[in-house]
A and B are shown apart, each in its own frame.
Chain A
Amino acid sequence: MAKLRRRAHRYRDEVATRARQQAAVAALGQRALAGLPLEELIEEAVGCAARELRTDYVVLFELTGDREGLLIRAGRGLPGGTIGGVISARPEQLPGYALRAQGPLVIDDFASETRFQPSPLQRDLEIVSALAAPIGTPHGQFGVIGASSRTPHEFSPDDAHFLQAIANVVGAAAERTRRDDLIRDSEQRFRELADTTPALMWMTDAEGHVTFVNEAWLRFTGRTLEEELGATWAVGAHPEDLEGLLDAWHAALARRGEFNTEYRLRRHDGSVRWVLALGLPRYEGEEFVGYVGTATDIHERKEMEDALRESEASFRELADTAPVMIWTTDERGLVTFVNEGWLRYTGTTLEEELGPSWSLGVHPDDAPAVISSWNEKLAAREPWELEYRLRGAHGDYRWIADRGVPRYEAGHFVGYVGTAIDIHERKTMEARLREVYEREHTIAETLQRSLLPERLPRIEGLEIAARYLPAGRGAEVGGDWYDALERADGRVALVVGDVVGHGLRAAATMGQLRNAFRAYGLTEASPAEVMARVNRLVISGEDEAMATVLYLVLDRETGEVSFASAGHPPPLVLSTDGARFLEGGRSVPVGAAEPGIFREASAELPPGASLLLYTDGLVERRDTPLEKRLNELADAAGRAEEGLEGLCDSVLSSVLGRQVPSDDVALLAVRPRPVTTEALRLSLPAEPESLTGLRRRLGRFLHAAGASEEEAYEITLTVCEAAGNAIEHAYGPGDATFEVEATFESGTLVAIVRDRGAWRARRGAHRGRGLKIIEGLMDDVEVSTEPDGTVIKMSRRLAA
């Protein structure tokens, strides 16, 4: 007992350290998200590492511009004048070596280190042990953070994981700073662009109402800003195109996807022009706020295409006067003509362009796609269309949208005719918008990954597998998490949760909730109590956070589970009887109301059963009712192959298919490891309530030993009858205990029940029934009286 308590104590210390480290990373992540300048964030990161790791030194190096040196940017415990110095970034020394490493490095003792030589800094500081983590960004190495000591220091895997998490947050913040600089420049350019560009531009709010159109748009339509605002921008569309246009627009708006359509728009002079309208969803923080879009006049191009179909002769005449870029090829795909517009754009001569040379000005990165798609379409004589970068007259590459259609004379294929338009401004704007948006995605994902356990804790007697799938690119990260921990009462707590909302704040809230469940979940509180406590914490916090959570406590030996679901989808039990959901114990999400009324329910896992917990990214899809998706999940899980890893993989692949999930998915699968048949030894209080637990434990043991259902029942009954006798004859309530021992060897099960009282056969006809059962169901029964009590030894040979 004392040993158990010591173990629980040590475990609690480890968890407490880990929870504190995670809280520190979450806090640092939040500072990064709040836009703390990089300089200050680095200072905080170094301070945080020094506080949590308690080493003599902490140093943060930044790779210099020439990538040859490492600048000592910040540190703790360093002698004066060290910060600001530059050391070598060569991989022969630890900092340079760590810079290129994929993960954290632990150096227990430099004296026995063979991977690199000592650096002057290390010699000066007399460093013996060190921990170092690379700071990376999507654009390459940023630097290294290290913690080191003058005396031997043992770093745990958790310490290494913690320092790497700190490094990841610094890396994400460095990347954000870099992008912010880029964006600040382009923001300026964007505004200038908007009113000077010949492109028509518009913006809408989240409902799709126009909030802005640029000068060019007003000049084109001849309307005033007041007339345009608020209305849908489809005003002025040609009646024949209106329906298709609105369908396309609403479809895009509904899924907040890219919008792309061609339609005819009425110009101020009453004429009707073909325009290409493009729109991209806009986000502010994590909130969808509407669209930004362009409309490009493609009327000439459209006319041209029509004219081409009619007459080759009038085409050439028309072609040279048009501002559009036009080209034709022969049936082999060799260029036979480009118009003045093309030559003006490229700054080349007609002679240079003719023949097989037209792909010469294509940007090297785009050339393979241009050539392969062109060859493929040419061979099939199908229309070809591509956006790519083409070198302009001043040597700069600009985006163009190029397309060609096959042309026929008297039924014979004679080549292609194509048109191209400059879409550079639109493309630049698209790219800029994406960057703004992806920046947030990256930092939130980094934070989220830092907070999720790299690998789940090893819990004795429990198999665990987990998966975490971030939503696809272009979607925002969510606040999903999972966790598993051993409670003070020896049971296991499993948590799966999903913070309402997406993006930065959700990821940070997730970190806090995870820690709260770690703290409260370790106690012996019931699931509903744990929920109520976390709820109180969330409600009293500043953030208006809300989350759906499933908190479940599992007794590994008896298979008993009790759980509370705060608005979360139900856990799934998989056993030989098939798959079924654990219903009940449902209440509102955490953070929704105070006082929250939380309910709990309990159930029992059949021997050998697995339990699957998940977040709704797995089962929620807009076009399918939840119930249907749950059934699909149960079916998929029921068909899954053996083993938890296989279960996770098959569930993900059959429920999600090949598609990348549109929301984050967290999945946690556990299975109490079958009790080994080595031996079962229990010491239980001598009271009737002990019998239930004894039955469950024996049931599992016998199941593992291969007993049939009938044998399991009969042996369990026998042992419980003997135990019942021990309970009745115990000295009375209080400290009395009885012991049960079961072993299984060469096909025979032996059970021993020991108590501290004297064996007495129960009196009376019915009292003797217990003894009758014991004797009738066991092959052999021995009762022996020892000085301090009675021992009943029973054995039975199993059929299988």
Chain B
Amino acid sequence: MTSAEVAIERQGGAVVAHLSGEVDMTNAARVREELLVSIPNDALALVIDLDGCRYLDSAAIEVIFDLARRLGRRRQELRLVLPPGSPLSRVLMLTEVHSVAPVHETLDSALAQ
């Protein structure tokens, strides 16, 4: 069983979603739902913290693109947190995730924006 957990916290104007575990084609849809319902209309941004995330596949990356598109329509921003040296870095770069969501090295820097 592939399992991922989403923990939500409110940080001022932003909602922080700590995504941990593994996301692949079997659970990407569920993760997407959980993230979508976590963002109230008054939030300015959604910050997805990928620090505890061990595996993302193309279905998971598709979720990020999809979220960025939906949030953009609502004038809300999507930001990602990925610590330097994370095994996921190269894959996010290859798929050009940064074109739809800025990638920060720390949560603080993502919230400071």
**A-side interface residues toward B, CB under 8 Å?**
688-689, 691-692, 695, 709-710, 712-714, 716-717, 720-721, 724, 727, 766, 769-770, 772-773, 776-777
Contact = CB atoms under 8 A, between A and B. Distances in A.
B58 A691 contact: no
B1 interface: yes
The main secondary structure of chain A at its interface with chain B is helix
A773 B26 contact: no
B7 interface: no
Nearest to A602: B1
A772 B94 contact: yes
Interface in B50-95: 54-59, 61-62, 65, 87-91, 94-95
B91 A777 contact: yes
Contacts of B88: 713
B57 A777 contact: no
Interface residues of B, number: 22
A260 B85 CA distance: 69
A766 B65 contact: yes
Given A713-B88, A777-B90, A721 B2 contact: no
17 contacts: A688-B26, A691-B24, A691-B25, A692-B2, A692-B26, A695-B24, A709-B87, A713-B54, A713-B88, A717-B57, A721-B57, A724-B58, A766-B62, A773-B91, A773-B94, A777-B90, A777-B94
A773 B95 contact: yes
Nearest to B94: A776
Contact of A772 (B54, B59, B95): B95
B26 A689 contact: yes
Given A714-B87, A717-B57, A691 B94 contact: no
B67 to A, nearest CB: 12
Nearest to A690: B26
Contacts, number: 61
A721 B58 contact: yes
A688 B26 CA distance: 6
Contact of A691 (B26, B89, B90): B26
B53 to A, nearest CB: 11
Nearest to A766: B62
Contact of B55 (A717, A769, A772, A777): A717
B98 to A, nearest CB: 14
Nearest to A727: B25
Given A695-B55, A769-B62, A773-B58, A714 B90 contact: yes
B91 A714 contact: yes
A772 B92 CA distance: 11
A713 B61 contact: no
A777 B22 CA distance: 19
Contacts of A770: 58
Given A689-B26, A766-B65, A713 B55 contact: yes
Contacts of B2: 691-692
A586 to B, nearest CB: 21
Contacts of A714: 87, 90-91
A729 to B, nearest CB: 13
Given A709-B87, A717-B57, A766-B65, A692 B1 contact: yes
Interface in B1-37: 1-2, 22, 24-26
Contacts of B25: 688, 691, 724, 727
B57 to A, nearest CB: 6
